[in-house]
Amino acid sequence: MTGSGLPRQSSARRRRRSQWRGLAYIAPAMALVIVFFIMPVLFTGWMSLHNWPLMGASRWIGFNNYFRMYNDSRFITALNFTAYYTVIVTIAIFSVAFPLAIFVEKERQFVSAYRTVIFLPVVVGLATASLLWVWLANVDSGFIGPALKGLGLVAKSPNLLATFDTAFLTIVVMVVWKIAGFTMIILLTGLQAIPAELTEAARIDGAGRWQRFVHLTLPLMRKTIALALIVSVTGSILAFDQFYIMTAGGPQNKMISVVYYIFNQSFVSFNLGYGAALSIALLAILVAISIVQLRLLRVGGDHP
């Protein structure tokens, strides 16, 4: 009995030591998450329950900031614009990124150069890209307007940021130029993970290119598409730099996104408590949308 008990005790000690070693390995990452995510979220939630001016003492008001949202027409307008922008830009990004991923997935001459050139805009900061496109869209010293005039497409160089339609189109094109390469890389990893034997078998069975794409490629890329979709949708909902830098919320304050509105409430009007409540509401919206996307794509399920 004594002899058989010692190996068991030794094995238990080794397991405990291994568990503590594993905790030690993940402790730095856990500390970063706690300090830079969980604690700020908790503090923001606490702020949202107060009337929190920039100067002076805060005052507890409970859920009044959250009730205020329902009667805030400017917040509802910002939500509607953000939803509209998210749908348009996400469709545009996938419409460009998926064909590019299919194009660079095949081994051909200069394919590495193609991938590099397409991915290059991703390394440019969004604020820098916005400033670049402000110059490109400048009516006098830019490139796009004078180029259109030089080609004879317009009578005079247009001010692309003067009206909502042209400014919105310019921002969408800039974001697609900036982000499509990143989405392409994500989709490319999914394409390369599909076994070549399955594609070849489908081709031998008589499946056309479109049939293989719909019935083979898309189902097998379900998790990859979910990741790319969540990244794209989340980034679009959190859009701020392009609207702040390129149009300053205009024309006629029609391009104020949710994050832009939170910025105005927090750091222009100094309603920090209300801004915190808006941030918590936006976080809840992001979590809900991500859950819906994962459910719709059935990521992790056994069936396509």
Confidence at 59, pLDDT banded by 50, 70, 90:
confident
User: Phi-psi category of 42—alpha, beta or left, where left has phi over 0 and alpha has psi -120 to 50?
Assistant: alpha
Among 196, 227, 289, 239, which residue's Cα sits nearest to residue 94? 227
Domain ranges in the chain are 1-47, 65-297
297's CB contacts (< 8 A; 6+ apart) are: 222, 223, 225, 226, 229
Exposed/middle/buried for residue 165 (C-beta within 10 Å: 0-12, 13-18, 19+): exposed
What pLDDT is attached to residue 170? Answer: 93
Asked if the model's pLDDT at residue 302 lies above 70, the reply is no
What pLDDT is attached to residue 1? Answer: 47
Confidence at 8, pLDDT banded by 50, 70, 90:
low
CA distance 16 to 50: 45
pLDDT digits (tens, 9 = 90+) for 255-292: 999 999 999 998 888 889 999 999 999 999 999 988 88
Confidence at 304, pLDDT banded by 50, 70, 90:
very low
Protein fold of 65-297: MetI-like fold (1.10.3720)
Q: How many CB atoms lie under 10 A from the CB of residue 22?
A: 10
**Four-CA torsion 181, 187, 192, 193, nearest 10 degrees:** 150
Asked if the model's pLDDT at residue 140 lies above 80, the reply is no
Interstrand relation of 59-60 and 50-51 (parallel, antiparallel or unpaired): antiparallel
Query: Which residues, listed in sequence order, are joined to residue 50 by a DSSP beta bridge?
Result: 60
DSSP H helices in 193-255: 196-204, 209-212, 218-220, 222-237, 241-242
Question: What secondary structure letter does DSSP report for 194?
Answer: S
pLDDT digits (tens, 9 = 90+) for 97-136: 999 998 888 877 888 888 899 999 999 999 999 999 999 9
User: Tokens 């027409």 sit at which residue?
Assistant: 73
What pLDDT is attached to residue 4? Answer: 52
What pLDDT is attached to residue 154? Answer: 78
| Rounded (to 5) percent helix, strand, coil in the chain | 75, 0, 25
Asked if the model's pLDDT at residue 36 lies above 60, the reply is yes
Q: List, in sequence order, every beta strand (DSSP E) within the chain.
A: 50-51, 59-60
What pLDDT is attached to residue 6? Answer: 56
**Which value, in Å, is the radius of gyration of the alpha carbons in the chain?**
26
What pLDDT is attached to residue 222? Answer: 86
Of the listed ranges 26-30, 264-268, 296-300, the one predicted with least confidence = 296-300
